[in-house]
Structure 1
Amino acid sequence: MSQPVELDGFERAILVALQKNARLSVQEIADSIGLSASPTWRRIKAMQDAGLVLDYVARLDAAKLGFGQTVFANVTLIKHQREAMRDFERAILERPEVLQCFSMTGSADYIIRAVVRDAAHYERFLQEAVFTNPAIQHISSHFALREIKNVTALPL
């Protein structure tokens, strides 16, 4: 695990502003944090170069785009061999329905968050990506009833 980066007040304020709205111009960020544009730009560039800022993305409304179901799936592998794990991870990386996948401790080896249009779409995902994968011993799926909180901003 890498060591946390020490941020000064301006850097922290820049990251908070970017997390709220990544479309802000450098000048708008500079004005909001009380710094001029040039040093603000240099700090943003340095944080990007240091890998603190991973991406700039647009958050979309999944339900309005036809992905009305969020499914969380706990996956247990048959064997904990490197090749089986790599095969499973490679297969998951190829599936557009899977938005997140984490290697876990506890009763499951992985947890997946997927978005699907409906139960039939999820069944196709299971048939194509899970039931055909010899590394998977067990999958336990949980359909989300409603979203209570979904943020991407870190608590800086």
Structure 2
Amino acid sequence: MRTARLRTVHPVIWAGWAALAAGAVLCVIGWYGVSGERFAERQLPYLASCTVPGAALIIAGSVLLTHGRGALAAARVEELYGLLVAAEPADAEESGQSPTAPLAVSGDLLMVPGGTLWHRADCPLVAGKAEAVPVDVKLVRSGELGPCPICEPAEADH
């Protein structure tokens, strides 16, 4: 699935490469012409007609390539975001959960020693961790532990 923006960026990149190539050719022609002349007054026409425009084309080609690649990256990010947004509702329908369903629903509360949060037992932050222990009521009441923002356990759960 290619977006229209991706297709419109490619000509900019091709134009950048073409400008770089033309600028390089003009610089080589200018250098060749300057190297064949002994006096500076005979070298100036080559500098004015080939080398200066060649350098300008090289700069313009670099700008076009930079812009084209940045636009290409932005278009790809937009395309991926569109795919992600389009896929999200389908995932929620397949699992049978509403988008606002809680992440964890267990009534058992756990904490990690030395941590600052308390969690439901099925919270992804503590699930499967051997070091997780049941919550110490004293730490919760003293305010040393706060509820996890992911699984959002309420104090009434404890």
Larger RCO, structures 1/2 (Cα 8 Å, 6+ apart): 1
Question: Which TM-score applies when normalising by structure 2?
Answer: 0.25
Question: Which TM-score applies when normalising by structure 1?
Answer: 0.25
Query: As a proportion of its length, which structure holds more helix?
Result: 2
